[in-house]
Amino acid sequence: MLFKKPKIIADKAIPFLEGVLEPYARIVYKEGKEIGPEDVRNADALLIRTRTRCDAALLAGSSVKIIATATIGTDHIDIPYCNSRGIVVANAAGCNAGGVMNYVFSALYGTAARKSLRLEGKTMGIVGVGNVGKRVERMALYLGFKVLKCDPPRVAAEGPDGFCDLDTLLAESDIVTLHVPLLPETRGMANREFFSRMRPGAFFINASRGEVVDELALKEALPNLGPVIIDTWNNEPDIDRDLLEKVDIATPHIAGYSYQGKQNGTAMSVRSLARFFRFRQLYEFFPKTEVLELESIKLDLEGRSQGEVASVLQYNYPIFTDDFMFRMDPGAFERMRSQYQYRREFYVD
């Protein structure tokens, strides 16, 4: 008996994917934001990124059985609706944690160097200590920062040891960096009250989701804050140009765009589909590193001065190039993301 190959609709911007699933399934590639109800009506699976909104408007009446997103976040997917219809949702949890960590520290040290700010003895407050936050914490401790952590879901699951409340974190941190998912309880969490409780002159970094920040409140708070670094925005790709002009580093939602992060995201998504449809040859799939220069690199920063650390980090991720290119043409938000030249990750012991 011959079995019909499942039909998979895939975002054409997902890297390392072409040719992988074709021996086992019928694949249709489309721009993520253009995937519509007619495309998915007779599809068995979707392989997407954040630009495809998966809800009743897209999925009603379809034969979709599984959605695999090559992203950490799932806020573009209506989980309750999928659950009610028996649609499996698989995300790529932690896939870009290393890339986001690299972004945070390249931005932090680069901005401090530009503004002649000392980082020695500073306290970093990490809001959201999941896969990304843990990587940021590890690097911060390695570099000698004091670390405060706020993560109510982890406190509920593990107890309060090692964590603090948000008010304490904001009052005592010189650097506040957000790494929370977009949920009803995190939407707009960085509001007027949030910014009023931060230390004057403190860094603010958002590389999580744009809508966790009330951008009007952020603009009002700018005179009292130190450097502000924004990678994720409200209403992407139609972002607030006025805010872009006022922050110290602005990038088009590419903090996690490392070569390894994209390999991880594609691998996790393909493996999810492989297990669902029993494509046994793909259970351990991982894209080959075709460019040796993009293999991840271990850094030894022990005993280095702040200037030396800044230099090493900028060499490995020259973040101001991304900032400059974005400011030159903010209307090219989506194009810059889809054509981004993935960078290699760095890590430490």
Catalytic residue among 41, 236, 275, 304: 236
Is 179 in the active site?
no
Q: Say which CATH superfamily domain 97-254+300-347 falls into.
A: NAD(P)-binding Rossmann-like Domain (3.40.50.720)
Is 236 in the active site?
yes
Catalytic residue among 199, 253, 271, 344: 253
How confident is the model over 91-107, as a mean pLDDT? 97
How is 133-167 classified by DSSP, letter by letter?
HHHHHHHHHHTT-EEEEE-HHHHHHH-STT---HH
Asked whether the beta carbons of 289 and 264 are under 8 A apart, the reply is no
Eight-state DSSP code of residue 213: B
Cα distance between residue 262 and residue 342, in whole Å: 8
Is 209 in the active site?
yes
In the predicted structure, residue 14 carries a pLDDT above the cut 50: yes
What percent of the chain shows pLDDT beyond 90?
96
How confident is the model over 75-91, as a mean pLDDT? 97
Give the per-residue pLDDT at 3: 62
Amino acid, single-letter form, for residue 300: D
Amino acid, single-letter form, for residue 216: L
How confident is the model over 223-234, as a mean pLDDT? 98
Q: Do domains 7-91 and 97-254+300-347 have the same CATH topology?
A: yes
Give the per-residue pLDDT at 349: 87
Q: How far is CA 159 from the centre of its chain?
A: 27
Q: Which of these, 256, 236, 14, lies nearest to 131 by C-alpha position?
A: 256
Catalytic residue among 51, 179, 209, 337: 209
Predicted model pTM: 0.91
How confident is the model over 280-306, as a mean pLDDT? 93
Domain boundaries defined on the chain: 7-91, 97-254+300-347
Query: Which CATH number applies to 7-91?
Result: 3.40.50.720
